[in-house]
Amino acid sequence: LDLSVLPLATDEMPDTWVESFFIPYGDTPETLGTSLGGDGEGVWWGPEYGAQAPDGTWWFLDTANFRLAHFSETGEFLDDVEVPPSLLVQGIYFQYTQPRVLDDGTVLASRLGDEGTVFIRLRDGDLDSFTIPYEMTPRTDDGEILYGFSFGEDSATVSVDPVTETAQEVEWFVGRDGRRFRLAGGAGGLRVELPDASPAASLDLDFEAAEIGGPVYLM
């Protein structure tokens, strides 16, 4: 099991990080938009979410411009898809987060709704939506199925099939290599179960905040 630990924040980007591309803010299709933050006063935010497709290109949730923006792996603008008012909250709020791109190129993003979780789905050039009866945020996928944890006291591992528009509780996450895994986090620790590893493994990892001390709460 390989673990990656982020270094402490500094004023300069560490040598281990390499810039892949740069997309400026602006008002043209080739740029990404900004909008006022939650306070509505003076703090402007750019897109918070993007996902890389299997072909290396990137899709960004360009909230300010109500669109899905598509860029090449080197940051060149390719195309975009407008998110119409019918797919926005109250016709004006773009609340979708956590985009993922599946093996067939389907782009998905989600938000919490009144009756569960609402997904927008871009598939073969068509943008639509569907709802599942679980409140959850997708955390990973196997290229076809999304996986995440449901919210609430009875939290469970949930899988979402965007083709059949169905969801169900499952025992394991599945990675893109087809192997199962399970994570359980809490105050200062993380349990990782890898039943398909050779040999099968279960690891208990402890974490502590650098410099200031104390446990790190993992979700």
pTM comes to: 0.85
Taking the CA of residue 218 as centre, how many other CA atoms within 13 Å lie in the half-sphere pointing to its CB? Answer: 16
For residue 47, give both structure tokens.
């897109």
Q: What are phi and psi of 86, to 5 degrees?
A: -65, -20
Tell me if 79 sits within 8 A of 70, measured CB to CB: yes
What is the per-residue pLDDT for 144?
97
- Bridge partner list, 59: 51, 70
Amino acid letter at 186?
Answer: G
**Model confidence over 156-203: pLDDT tens digits?**
899 999 999 999 999 999 999 999 998 877 666 778 899 998 899 888
What is the per-residue pLDDT for 13?
74
Query: How far is Cα 181 from Cα 175, in angstroms, rounded to an integer?
Result: 8
Please identify which residue in the block is written with the tokens 């390989």: 2
**Model confidence over 24-34: pLDDT tens digits?**
999 999 999 99
